[in-house]
């Protein structure tokens, strides 16, 4: 149910939008400034109530009938796209079907011009088009990516250029699951990251987006891993970014309280966690830098437990992914404080079934891994030593009694959240 204040935003925006076709181009600009200010105040429910298929069909009609200039329409659309790219809505791409077709034709037409090509319009069209879909033809890929990379490679540090670079990189993130030629454009992304590491010219969202573009290619190009881990020192840099975001968020803020500028820090943190999820699911290299990264995830997890459930849930899911991957040593989970943090959650026995489920799965993964004997004698001795450390920690905290007390709810949790949960409580125990 929308509140009165939310209805006011929807009403104001709708009225301004309807007035666009009756204004001069200058008048349209003023209306769009007011509309953008309303977008800044929207929550996701308002956003999805306003930006429907009908509204975008109307916008397309206004463009084709020359009632709204394409430049003003794109200005508004880029603002909408920025909100969408930094939010958690996932359906707006589907609502753009007719506009997408329009943009596709305009991109091809503008690109084919021999003279008087409007480079700025072409880039804006590419950004809007890519931001609405991750399904793009090879022909459009060969037009859009070079044009957006040309913007992303700009080195100037003034605010306008930084914003242009940010938008270009965020749009390119939408192409993460596409089948693009193996090494196409990766040198440019590497250059962008390296230049920022030396000169700090990117915004937080732009830097995160560049990493996301690179890491999303790991699924199809495993050779990138050495560059990411050893040359660009991803774990160390990501740790620094997470710690910076953590310092800028008021973790004691209650739900519903005004967030102000702090919202960008939340967005950055969530997007970094998303990138980490992509990375941990397929990485094969590991070094000491990852202990600090896991420690940062644990710290954010603890800080977010009370008032930032989205971040909290993402952190516990990340720790679960790490606990599954055998390249991550159980010893590293101990050193980073991950075992302690998850044990705290088990002891709390909150009413959040998802958190209880994920925490239980982490211990299930740890237990199973510690029970697997190693063929190598040195590795076997290491396993036994780690197993003893974990056992002693859990015994001290009365872990087995806690797990036993959850036995009756495991069946429910298994049905409701995760079929991977075992119904045999002994599977969660680390026996000596």
Q: What is the pLDDT of residues 188-236, one digit of tens each?
A: 999 999 999 999 999 999 999 999 999 988 877 888 899 999 999 999 9
Does residue 61 have a pLDDT over 90?
Answer: yes
Note the pLDDT of residue 256: 55
Residue 424 has pLDDT above 90, yes or no: no
Please report which confidence band the pLDDT of residue 134 belongs to, taking 50, 70 and 90 as the band edges. Answer: low
Tokens coding 160: 């306008």
Residue 139 in this model has a pLDDT that exceeds 60: yes
pLDDT, residue 218, reads: 83
Count Cβ atoms below 10 Å from residue 405 Cβ, excluding itself: 12
Q: What is the mean pLDDT of residues 331-342?
A: 94
Taking only the tens place, the pLDDT of each residue in 289-306 is 999 999 999 999 999 988
Q: Kindly report, residue by residue over 232-244, the tens digit of the pLDDT.
A: 999 999 999 999 9
Q: What is the CA angle 382-385-386, rounded to 5?
A: 85
Query: DSSP assignment of 69-80, as one string?
Result: -HHHHHHHHHHH
**Greater model confidence, 266 or 135:** 266
In this predicted structure, what is the pLDDT of residue 1? 47
Give the pLDDT mean for 356-368.
Answer: 90
In degrees rounded to 5, what are phi and psi of residue 167?
-65, -40
3-state secondary structure of 114: coil
As a whole number of angstroms, the distance between CA 225 and CA 58 comes to: 46
Model pLDDT, residue 178? 52
Q: Take residue 152 and report the two structure tokens written for it.
A: 């992303």
Q: Please tell me the distance from the alpha carbon of residue 39 to that of residue 89, in angstroms, as a whole number.
A: 14
Two tokens, residue 422:
């075992």
DSSP type of residue 127:
H
**Would the CA dihedral through 19, 20, 25, 28 be positive or negative?**
positive
Of residues 95, 249, 74, 93, the one with CA closest to residue 167: 74
Give the separation between CA 345 and CA 308, rounded to whole angstroms.
15
For residue 8, what pLDDT is reported?
87
Lowest-pLDDT choice from 142-151, 177-186, 235-244, 403-412: 177-186
């Amino acid at each position: 149910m929308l509140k009165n204040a939310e209805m006011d935003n929807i009403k104001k925006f709708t009225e301004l939008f309807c007035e666009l076709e009756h204004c001069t181009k200058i008048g349209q600009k003023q209306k769009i400034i007011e509309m953008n200010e309303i977008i800044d105040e929207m929550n996701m429910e308002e956003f999805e109530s306003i930006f429907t298929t009908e509204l975008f069909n109307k916008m397309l009609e206004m463009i084709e009938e020359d009632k709204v200039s394409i430049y003003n329409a794109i200005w508004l659309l880029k603002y909408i796209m920025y909100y969408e790219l930094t939010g958690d809505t996932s359906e707006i791409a589907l609502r753009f079907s007719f506009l997408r077709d329009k943009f596709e034709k305009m991109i091809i037409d503008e690109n084919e011009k021999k003279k008087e090509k409007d480079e700025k319009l072409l880039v804006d069209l590419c950004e809007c088009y890519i931001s609405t879909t991750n399904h793009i033809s090879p022909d459009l890929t060969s037009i859009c990516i070079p044009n957006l990379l040309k913007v992303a490679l700009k080195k100037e540090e003034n605010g306008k250029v930084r914003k242009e670079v940010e938008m270009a990189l965020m749009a390119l993130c939408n192409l993460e699951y596409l089948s693009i030629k193996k090494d196409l454009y990766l040198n440019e992304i590497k250059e962008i990251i390296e230049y920022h590491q030396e000169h700090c010219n990117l915004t937080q969202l732009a830097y995160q987006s560049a990493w996301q573009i690179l890491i999303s290619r790991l699924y199809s190009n495993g050779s990138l891993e050495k560059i990411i881990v050893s040359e660009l020192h991803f774990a160390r840099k990501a740790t620094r970014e997470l710690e910076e975001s953590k310092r800028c968020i008021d973790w004691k803020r209650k739900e519903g309280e005004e967030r102000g500028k702090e919202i960008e820090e939340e967005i950055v943190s969530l997007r970094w966690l998303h990138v980490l999820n992509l990375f941990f699911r397929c990485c094969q290299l590991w070094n000491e830098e990852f202990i600090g990264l896991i420690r940062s995830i644990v710290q954010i997890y603890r800080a977010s437990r009370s008032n930032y459930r989205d971040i909290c849930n993402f952190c516990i899911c990340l720790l679960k992914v790490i606990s599954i991957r055998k390249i991550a040593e159980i010893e590293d989970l101990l050193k980073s404080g991950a075992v302690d943090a998850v044990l705290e959650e088990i002891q709390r026995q909150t009413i959040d079934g998802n958190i209880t489920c994920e925490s239980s799965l982490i211990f299930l993964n740890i237990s199973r891994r510690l029970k697997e004997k190693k063929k190598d004698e040195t590795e076997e001795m290491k396993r036994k030593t780690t197993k003893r450390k974990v056992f002693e920690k859990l015994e001290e905290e009365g872990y087995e009694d806690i797990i036993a007390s959850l036995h009756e709810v495991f069946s429910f949790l298994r049905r409701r959240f995760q079929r991977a949960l075992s119904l045999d409580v002994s599977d969660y125990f680390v026996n000596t």
